[in-house]
Chain A
Amino acid sequence: MNGIQYALRRIHHGENEAAKELLRLADRHRTDHEVHHVARDLASWSHEHVQLLAQHATRFGLNLDDEADTPNGITSQVRETLAHAAGRHPEPGLSLLEDLRHLHLRASENSLAWEMLAQVAQAQHERELLDLTEKCHPQTLRQIRWANTTIKTQTPQVLASL
């Protein structure tokens, strides 16, 4: 495996996870209408990133899935049912904060992965790959900022009322 393949795999995996996490977040917080709709819009960016990465990957001898996985609802449902059975009822505001915190970490990791891909693309004069990172990386940064702003907006009410 060469460096470009390594970087492509890393960001492809990360964007796939971000797409799943955003859709799961949208699904779990559908009564929080703004969060629900924005999260779905942001998931579409990660879906597109996965697709574009898969297209580019073939030139580097990699066969990556061009469609992001759908969130595995059963696993999270089982987890929540078990939590309820154990007497732990997650407070909805707190669960939103936790989901946003996870998203922030995931997208931050992706930002680093885009950075690595951009650096190796530049070093090896892969112009098209560099263009791809210049298109996608800013959207990953916007996912981070959205998570940050939403955490800022929601935290005082949620934590002050615990």
Chain B
Amino acid sequence: MHLSEKAVDPPGDARPDLDIFLDYAGRMGFRDKDGQPLISWTEPESAYAAWQRCSAGRPCDYTDISYAALRSEGGIQWGGERLYADGVFRATPDDCESYGRDLVTGASVEETEYRALNPDGKAVIKAAEFFPLHEDTSSDYPLQLITGRTIYHFHTRTKTARTPELQAAAPDVWVELSADDAASLAATEGDLVDVVSPRGRVRARLRITPIRRSTAFVPFHYGYWDTTGVGPADADPGRAANELTVTDWDPVSKQPLFKTSAARLEKVPR
């Protein structure tokens, strides 16, 4: 854990998120059972102190990590030196955070079922069987599209695009394809191509790389905040990789499946 101190005052009329939430709670008049204001904290440190009280004695106990300790040590390993000292896990049915879920279906594990695992002090290792992709390649969409990162950018570049060197290193979206697949498209390095999935299209410059055959790669960093501000337009075709992928997520973690899609490439006439 580390403490991110305020670096600069918010510009213009901008306000810190916490102030806005507190203002909202105040205007809604949230009260506790004694009729006192529900929210007793007023700024980050007292909000954190409330969270420490909340977590006291639970597996995620933060009471030992104070603002003072964070400031003096710079960063503190959460859970102490060894979170699972002597191989003991906080898995006891009366103490654990949750009984967990079925990794395939997301169904809750019930208390009796969890107790039957006899998990006292032991980790529970779960397996999930293989399932085929929810959307596989087809004659219309013969390529397996994968999406990912470049070293120069973080997420949607709201920070890294404002660093001139990083922005210049990777200013716009591209698509990677193997030399064989590029040849069958009659396309060469630098050509404009459309990456098309059943849900949308992204227009990108072609890069020929040693990627596996029948696979295309598009980085997901590029959206519209620094172009149209809203989305694809006639003068500004699609460039957001996440618009190509299927709307699907992991039923337990709810992590969206932004990594793969079936797709085809179309060469854009010069």
Interfacial residues, chain A to chain B (CB-CB below 8 A): 33-34, 37-38, 40-42, 44, 142-143, 145-146, 148-150, 152
Contact = CB atoms under 8 A, between A and B. Distances in A.
Given A40-B134, A44-B131, A149 B249 contact: no
Nearest to B249: A34
B248 interface: yes
Contacts of B104: 38, 41, 142
Contacts of A37: 134, 248
A146 B248 contact: no
A148 B107 contact: yes
Main secondary structure of the interface of A (DSSP, over half): helix
B108 interface: yes
A149 B102 CA distance: 10
A-B pairs, top 9 by smallest CB distance, nearest first, are: A146-B105, A145-B107, A149-B107, A146-B107, A33-B247, A149-B108, A37-B248, A41-B131, A37-B134
23 contacts: A33-B248, A33-B249, A34-B106, A34-B248, A38-B106, A41-B131, A41-B134, A42-B105, A44-B131, A44-B132, A142-B102, A142-B105, A142-B107, A145-B102, A145-B107, A146-B102, A146-B105, A146-B107, A148-B107, A149-B105, A149-B106, A150-B107, A152-B108
Interface residues of B, number: 13
B57 interface: no
B251 interface: yes
Contacts of A145: 102, 105, 107-108
Nearest to B105: A146
Contacts of A41: 104-105, 131, 134
B266 to A, nearest CB: 27
A145 B105 CA distance: 9
A100 B171 CA distance: 49
Nearest to A42: B105
